[in-house]
Structure 1
Amino acid sequence: MIFGKKKYNLRREYDQSLVFQIDKAKIDWDTAQNSEEALLDGQVNVRLIQAQTALAKAKFNYLYREARRRKTVGHMQTHVLKSDRL
């Protein structure tokens, strides 16, 4: 402590940000999967929809692995924990 101020812990702040981004990426991935299933029957560009779903999945996997590498502790939702077996 310097002059009565607590040290600002950047690692904790970035870990919280990482957990928030993981939650958001999981929601985006779930939304993309649902959209893909709904739109595959229609007359739309199937490859574009599949690419967007694959991108959302890759983003989630990257963030999740980074959190595991950093041993980040946070509020992991149950739907995130179930996809640990990716």
Structure 2
Amino acid sequence: MFFNRFRRQNVKKEYDQRLLELINSLKEEWDHASQTQEAVADSDMEMEQETALARQKYFFIYREARIRKIKNDQIQPSVISYDHDNFE
């Protein structure tokens, strides 16, 4: 009985970690699509749809993580500001 409970906890941790990795990957994909859309002067409907789809994928998985009460222990690169002039 103890081993079954221990195994279940390990499986949950493994899938929670996979979910966090997927969230980070989808966030990067959404950021990339958004930056591409902003950089292109003639963004067409297809580009806007790709950005919207990337956003929806991210929020769908993010909601699942919230339901499972998963916490991320790493800072996403999109959150970090590389503007060092503000720190002087």
Q: TM-score, normalised by structure 2?
A: 0.73
In structure 1, how many angstroms separate the alpha carbons of the residues matched to 2:56 and 2:70? 19
Distance change (3 Å), C-alpha of 1:76 and 1:66: farther
Report the Cα offset of residue 38 of structure 1: 1.2
In structure 2, how many angstroms separate the alpha carbons of the residues matched to 1:15 and 1:74? 10
In structure 2, how many angstroms separate the alpha carbons of the residues matched to 1:59 and 1:76? 20
Larger relative contact order, structure 1 or 2 (CA cutoff 8 Å, min sep 6): 1
Identity, in percent, stands at: 36
The answer to whether the 8 Å contact 1:29/1:56 transfers is: yes
In structure 2, how many angstroms separate the alpha carbons of the residues matched to 1:23 and 1:35? 18
Q: Which runs of 5+ in 1 are unaligned?
A: 81-86
CA-based RMSD:
2.1
Q: TM-score, normalised by structure 1?
A: 0.74
Report the Cα offset of residue 77 of structure 1: 2.2
Distance change (3 Å), C-alpha of 1:37 and 1:54: same
Distance change (3 Å), C-alpha of 1:55 and 1:24: same
Report the count of equivalent residues. 74
- The equivalent residue for 1:66 is 64
Q: Verify: 1:47 aligned to 2:45, yes or no.
A: yes
- The equivalent residue for 1:27 is 28
